[in-house]
Copies of this chain bind each other. A is one copy, B any other.
Amino acid sequence: MASRGDTRQRIQDVALELFAEKGYEKTSLREIAERLDVTKAALYYHFKTKEDILMALFQSLGAPLDELVEWGKRQPRTLEMKKELLARYSQALQGAAALFRFMQENQATIKDLSLGETFKNRMFAMVDLLRDEDGSLEDQVRCATALFSIHAGLFALKDMDATPEEKQKAVLTVAQELIVAAHHGA
């Protein structure tokens, strides 16, 4: 049997592929169905609406980040923990590249689906774990920048001549520097 109970998962896989490639709005259910070699109606058996597919994707892709935030909340708020959090975040991004591509491509859609809040909250939760509420404005910026530098860095180094490991290491170094600087300021 080609398809067991994995059809739902296969739909998610193909949908992620297409949503990340051409955006949610521009991807039609017809396309998804065709690529899976099933019919549109079949999709409706597994998901009540097109939005449902998006929500399911969002949840399953975001889970690792949620776990990371949860992990962080259980730790003491030391400098070491913050450095470790950045390292884990950097690691998580490698696996979740699809999520972020997907998120970025579909920001507009995600926004008015309550998902926007969810995602923003996740980011803010992450920044909150890094920052000291009583720090200076500059230090707040350093903490936020530490997190985003991981994205910016990987983006900027995309065309550079180095191994992924070297790049990841360089990016993490800069991110952790920023956290250390913020910590000293406090």
Residues of A within 8 A of B (CB): 22-26, 104-109, 111-112, 127, 136-138, 140-145, 147-149, 151-153, 155-157, 160, 162, 166-167, 170-171, 173-174, 177-178, 181
8 contacts between A and B (CB under 8 A): A25-B25, A137-B157, A138-B174, A145-B149, A145-B153, A149-B149, A152-B152, A177-B181
Lowest 8 A-B CB distances belong to which pairs?
A: A23-B108, A144-B156, A25-B25, A137-B170, A148-B152, A141-B153, A145-B149, A105-B108
B26, B148, B170, B177: the one within 8 Å of A149 (CB): B148
* SS of A interface (majority): helix
Residue of B nearest to A171 (CB): B141
Asked whether A108 lies within 8 Å of B153 as measured between CB atoms, the reply is no
Pick from A25, A105, A153, A177 the residue with the most CB of B within 10 Å. Answer: A153
Give Cα distance in the complex from A149 to B26, angstroms.
31
Give Cα distance in the complex from A160 to B166, angstroms.
36
Asked whether B23 lies within 8 Å of A174 as measured between CB atoms, the reply is no
| Shortest beta-carbon distance from A10 to chain B in Å | 23
Give Cα distance in the complex from A142 to B152, angstroms.
9
| Across-interface contacts of A157 in B (CB, < 8 A) | 137, 140-141, 144
| Shortest beta-carbon distance from A89 to chain B in Å | 14
| Across-interface contacts of A155 in B (CB, < 8 A) | 144
B108, B137, B171: the one within 8 Å of A25 (CB): B108
Pick from A136, A151, A173, A174 the residue with the most CB of B within 10 Å. Answer: A174
| Across-interface contacts of A26 in B (CB, < 8 A) | 25, 108-109
| Shortest beta-carbon distance from A1 to chain B in Å | 36
B145, B148, B166: the one within 8 Å of A137 (CB): B166
| Shortest beta-carbon distance from A17 to chain B in Å | 14
Asked whether A152 lies within 8 Å of B144 as measured between CB atoms, the reply is yes
